[in-house]
Amino acid sequence: MKNYLFILLICIGCASKKEIVSPTFESKIISTEKLSCRAILVEAEKVWMGMDKGRIGIYDRKNDTFVIKSIANVSNTTEFRSIASTKQAIFILAVGNPAVLIRIDKNTLDETIVYKEEHEKVFYDSMQFADDLNGFAMGDPIENCLSFIKTNDGGTTWQKVSCSNFPVVANGEAAFATSNTNLIVKGKSIFMVSGGKQSRVFVSNDFGITWKAYETPIVQGEEMTGIFTADFYDEKTGMIAGGNYTKQEQNFANKAITTNGGKTWKLIADKQAFGYASCVQFVPNSKGKKIIAVGGTGLYYTSDFGKSWLKFSEEKDFYTFRFASETVFYASGKNKVARFEIK
């Protein structure tokens, strides 16, 4: 028995001294064409991108080809900063006035305008489908609430939801269209984030019928401060990030996590790691522990739910990204589209 115990203790001692090896990251540039892309969507065969100048980008993952296509019936000043999909179609939403939502058939690339909103204050920030029937998009306030439109027929028709369904926004509270990550859908729960003079998380647990607003510790109070991006691993576990766009090195009160569905938030890595962040995403199948962040101070990775961060790239021109798998993600931004692989 003593011999067995001695061997066991040796094994435990060896395990405790085992060095934790950080992952490495490899990147491949797909395009350096002149573009601005804040909306990216990754599917099995293609990567779709909403861009500036009334354009979309399509990358064929199998054939390694990249094309940029101009959208008909929109001006060359149109910016598509929101993108979403169903099995049949891609949807892109213009950020400003007029807010035009276009359905693109995946097979034929035929374009159909399915929603249009004109107002001097119209500004849509983010869009996502929960399934092949139900989709949602959110934007800045026109009245006294965040703008919110929805579809329940796969994107054929869209309706704007009345402000009577939503919490009242504060004066100067809006949202930032930095990476199509202001709206997240998990199961029946919808999460929306705001910034500016006040920065909160808006939560619906019944598919957008009723809403509650929750305070956050993220820096706020000025026009370009607050939450710029959010992601949820499931209906309980989430992260928000952002900061001060005008002071991008500032890395305090700019990242926080929740484990109770957005009701309360805890600051993480304060005065550490990245400053201003434009996009955060959970690594798939990581039990909510692994996250990547992109922003004005580079690209960062955590494997412990944000307690510590590894900077793996100095690149500051990426705005957004999405995962294709646990180890592969695609990023886009200013004059650049790239593929990253976690080794």
Report d(CA 146, CA 169) in Å as an integer.
Answer: 7
**Burial (CB count <10 Å: 0-12, 13-18, 19+), residue 204:** buried
Report d(CA 82, CA 63) in Å as an integer.
Answer: 26
Question: How confident is the prediction for the chain on average, in pLDDT?
Answer: 94
Q: Contact 65/79 with Cβ under 8 angstroms?
A: no
pLDDT tens-digit profile of 84-131?
999 999 999 999 999 999 999 999 999 999 999 999 999 999 999 999
By residue count, the chain amounts to 343
Judged against a pLDDT cut of 80, whether residue 81 lies above it is answered with yes
Report d(CA 28, CA 330) in Å as an integer.
Answer: 10
**Given this model, what pLDDT does residue 22 score?**
84
Using the structure block, give the residue that is written with the tokens 């869209």. 158
Structure tokens at 20: 């934790």
Judged against a pLDDT cut of 70, whether residue 179 lies above it is answered with yes
pLDDT tens-digit profile of 15-64?
333 444 689 999 999 999 999 999 999 999 999 999 999 999 999 999 99
Q: What does the pLDDT average to over 318-335?
A: 98
- Alpha helices by DSSP H, listed for the chain, are 2-16
Domain layout of the chain by residue ranges: 23-342
**Given this model, what pLDDT does residue 21 score?**
63
CB atoms within 10 A of CB 166: 23
Residue 304: pLDDT band by 50, 70, 90 thresholds? very high
SS3 103: strand
Report d(CA 240, CA 5) in Å as an integer.
Answer: 47
Judged against a pLDDT cut of 90, whether residue 135 lies above it is answered with yes
Report d(CA 327, CA 341) in Å as an integer.
Answer: 5
Residue 8: pLDDT band by 50, 70, 90 thresholds? very low
Report d(CA 343, CA 332) in Å as an integer.
Answer: 20
**Given this model, what pLDDT does residue 262 score?**
98
Structure tokens at 195: 């910034």
**Edge-to-edge strand order for the sheet containing 37-42?**
37-42, 46-51, 55-60, 65-70
Rg over alpha carbons for the chain, rounded to the nearest Å, is: 21
SS3 165: helix
Tell me what percent of the residues of the chain surpass a pLDDT of 90. 94
pLDDT tens-digit profile of 280-297?
999 999 999 999 999 999
Phi, psi of 165 (to 5 degrees): -90, -5
Judged against a pLDDT cut of 60, whether residue 2 lies above it is answered with no
pLDDT tens-digit profile of 212-255?
999 999 999 999 999 999 999 999 999 999 999 999 999 999 99
Phi, psi of 10 (to 5 degrees): -60, -45
Residue 186: pLDDT band by 50, 70, 90 thresholds? very high
- List all residues 6 or more positions away from 205 whose beta carbon is below 8 Å from its beta carbon: 188, 189, 235, 261
Q: What does the pLDDT average to over 330-342?
A: 98
Q: Contact 107/61 with Cβ under 8 angstroms?
A: no
- Secondary element (H or E) of residue 135: strand 135-139
Q: Please state which architecture CATH assigns to domain 23-342.
A: 7 Propeller (2.130)
Q: Cis check for the bond before 98: say yes or no (omega within 30 of 0).
A: yes
Q: Contact 315/328 with Cβ under 8 angstroms?
A: no
Q: What does the pLDDT average to over 310-334?
A: 98
